[in-house]
Amino acid sequence: MVNLDRLSIHRKYDPSGMLVHLKHFPEQCHSAWNKVMNYGMPSDYAQINKVVILGMGGSAIGGEVVSNLLMTESAVPVWVHRDFDLPRFVDERTLVIAISYSGNTEETLSAFNQLVKSPAKKLVITAGGQLGQLAQKENVFFSIIDYPAPPRATFPYMFASLVGIFNKLGFLSEKSADIHQSIDFLNRMVDELDITVPTDSNPAKKLAEKLHGKIVVVYGGGALAGVARRWKTQFNENSKNWAFFEIFPELIHNSIVGYPLPIQAKKNLFTILLRVPSLNPRIKIQYEAVIKILEENELPFEAIDGTGDNTFMQILNLILFGDFTSYYLAILNQVDPTPVKVIDFIKQYMSEHQE
């Protein structure tokens, strides 16, 4: 197995600098928050009764995590829409936020072009591209992401931007203190998970070693649904590794029944259970029961608890921990965590097969 404590190994397999983006996680949160706090949001944007977030992949996941948070704090429902067509229920009392780091995501552009003709309130978060050009042309309020990175590495920028937007609109309780406390907390985390910290003292390195050679299944419940998806997609894109995610309480109604078979698959699976103290008490009991079933079926697993003073910080803790773990798994897999050549192939294939 690759020795994660050898710094030369990281230089060899991370020539594009994914590790640098992980270290900038707290800085991105700080930059995005300050930018949004200086925005003058249109006053009528607070008069909506629902929100739709258009996005795909790394651009959409920030919206999903924030929408999970809003479910516990806001009466305004938020949907993350990953598709080509705008939902039919979008109307004048809907705020639609189109997010695409590149500004060229086909699905998001397709839905946004339909959005332009609707009476909905509109907002765009992008680094430019066609979406940025359309937003300017249509006089749509938009925020520019000025941090250069692969879309998935700008999660903290998109997450903090959305939290700031919903904070200003009054859909979330005041989050300034949470953001600033989280930034200090995340800076300490970066130091604790850095490549210079030996494996024996580095929980992300230790978890990556357990996952090496395994198909990873990530479990999350309640506010952790989007976090579980984030872990899954980071293993896919960074580690180039098979991974899936499941959500409590739904998974206890089906997934657990499949544990026994096929027998030969057992040695190739590893389950991660993400937890925070604020989970519904009944879901906590479900976690306990599922752990017992995993043990009875001799299936390897690990429960990961989010740390921090509140759910907000615990979610960011879990996301950064998952990001570092996926990075270390990429190094163990001896792959560059940055490029996603098969996604580039699909996009090129789609562009060559226009209707």
Distance CA 211, CA 209 (A): 5
Determine contact, residues 142/135, Cβ cutoff 8 Å: yes
Tell me what pLDDT residue 7 has: 96
Tokens representing 297?
Answer: 């079926």
Scan for tokens 């996301």, then name that residue.
Answer: 319
Task: Please name which of 130, 160, 159, 128 lies closest in space to residue 144, comparing C-alpha atoms.
Answer: 128
Q: Which CATH number fits domain 180-332: 3.40.50.10490, 3.30.565.10, 3.40.50.300, 3.40.50.10680?
A: 3.40.50.10490
Name the residue ranges covered by the structural domains of the chain: 18-174, 180-332
3-state helix, strand, coil in the chain (%, to 5): 55, 15, 30
pTM of the full structure: 0.96
* Alpha carbon distance 350, 355 (integer Å): 10
Q: Do residues 61 and 318 make contact, with C-beta atoms less than 8 angstroms apart?
A: no
The residue to which tokens 């938009």 are assigned:
142
Three-state secondary structure call for residue 18: helix
Domain 18-174 matches domain 180-332 at the CATH topology level = yes
C-alpha to C-alpha distances, 237 to 77, 94, 195, 203, nearest whole angstrom: 30, 32, 20, 21
For 349, the token pair is 């294939």
How confident is the prediction along the chain (355 residues), in pLDDT tens digits per residue?
Answer: 899 999 999 999 999 999 999 999 999 999 999 999 998 888 889 899 999 999 999 999 999 999 998 888 888 999 999 999 999 999 999 999 999 999 999 999 999 999 999 999 999 999 999 999 999 999 998 889 999 999 999 999 999 999 999 999 999 888 899 999 999 999 999 999 999 999 999 999 999 999 999 999 999 999 999 999 999 999 999 999 999 999 999 999 999 999 999 999 999 999 999 999 999 999 999 999 999 999 999 999 999 999 999 999 999 999 999 999 999 999 999 999 999 999 999 999 999 998 7
CA distance 299 to 96: 43
Residue positions annotated with a catalytic role: 237, 253, 347
Segment holding 220, helix H or strand E? strand 215-221
Give pLDDT, residue 142. 85
Instruction: Return the structure tokens found at 336.
Output: 């560059």
For residue 54, the cross-strand partners are 81, 98
The domain made up of 18-174 is a member of CATH 3.20.20.70: no
